[in-house]
Amino acid sequence: MTAEEEQAAVESRPTSDARVTPQSREEVTAKKRSPLGVVAEIVIIVAAAFAIAMLVQAFVVKPFTIHQISMQPTLLEGDRILISRLTYHFRDPKPGDIIVFRSPVNEGDDLVKRIVAVAGDRVAVKNGVLYVNGEPKDEPYLLERPFAGDMAEEVVPPGKVFVMGDNRNNSGDSRFFGPIDRDSIIGCALCVYWPVGRWKGL
């Protein structure tokens, strides 16, 4: 047999280790995956997504639903807002901020109010007008002006803020339970995200 004939014979022999193409590898892998493996993978993905969502709510942004009328007209009952848990890690609370905080009266309840004064400020209400450090405050966001009631001047203690609702005639706030601890603040309100027609920043 000539060299040419030997080469032709070798090339014509069937091979038992045919190469697996990338496409055929994927097909083989898909065939090997059991239904139980697919279910386990879905469970892991869902659990990871849930864990991430919980971490975001715990440390970054948390949704909150309004169940009170004390912040009308700024916030209506049923509005859903987003609150930032990070804001006060970078700056101090300031007058005008809308915050969600743990109720100092009813354990387990969360309230939403507006900060009107901070530590060291002098606060008073005279003839239905808020005074801070002796100056009357212009508050265009209030539901009713002037509002009912007076309050003798008091100084906000260190580590506390003075909060009031925008619906002053229907708001249980620092006029009744005193200034709240800064540590009780859950977060600073960012925006209304639902219902769609009420989208706005706060």
Question: pLDDT per position in the chain (202 positions), as tens?
Answer: 555 555 555 455 554 444 545 455 555 455 566 777 777 777 677 655 555 555 445 546 899 999 999 999 999 999 999 999 999 999 999 999 999 999 999 998 999 999 999 999 999 999 999 999 999 999 999 999 999 999 999 999 999 999 999 999 999 999 999 999 999 999 999 999 999 999 999 9
In a domain, 135, yes or no: yes
User: Which residue range is the domain that position 95 belongs to?
Assistant: 89-187
**Torsion angle of the four alpha carbons 127, 130, 136, 141, in this order, in degrees rounded to the nearest 10:** -110
In a domain, residue 125? The reply is yes
- The domain tally of the chain equals 1
Q: Which residue out of 31, 70, 103, 160 is catalytically annotated?
A: 70
Q: Does 147 map to a domain?
A: yes
Whether the CB-CB separation of 78 and 69 falls below 8 Å is answered with no
Catalytic status, residue 113: yes
Give domain status of residue 76, yes or no: no
How far apart CA 131 and CA 150 sit, in angstroms, is 11
**Domain annotation covers residue 69:** no
Label the pairing between strands 110-118 and 160-164.
Answer: antiparallel
The total of other beta-carbon atoms located within 10 Å of residue 185's CB is 21
Burial bucket for residue 11 (CB in 10 Å: 0-12, 13-18, 19+) = exposed
Does 38 fall in a domain? no
Give the residue among 158, 160, 162, 185 at the shortest CA–CA distance from 114.
162
> Which CATH number does the domain housing residue 143 bear?
2.10.109.10
Q: How many residues does the chain have?
A: 202
In a domain, 3, yes or no: no
CA 35 to each of CA 32, 40, 41, 45, 141: distance values in angstroms, whole numbers, following the listed order: 10, 9, 10, 16, 58
Question: Per the structure block, which two tokens stand in for 54?
Answer: 């919980």
In a domain, 146, yes or no: yes
**Strand boundaries in the chain, DSSP class E:** 61-65, 80-84, 98-102, 110-118, 122-126, 129-132, 135-136, 151-155, 160-164, 180-181, 185-194, 200-201
**Whether 104 contacts 184, CB under 8 Å:** yes
Catalytic residue among 113, 160, 171, 174: 113
Q: What is the pLDDT of residue 47?
A: 59
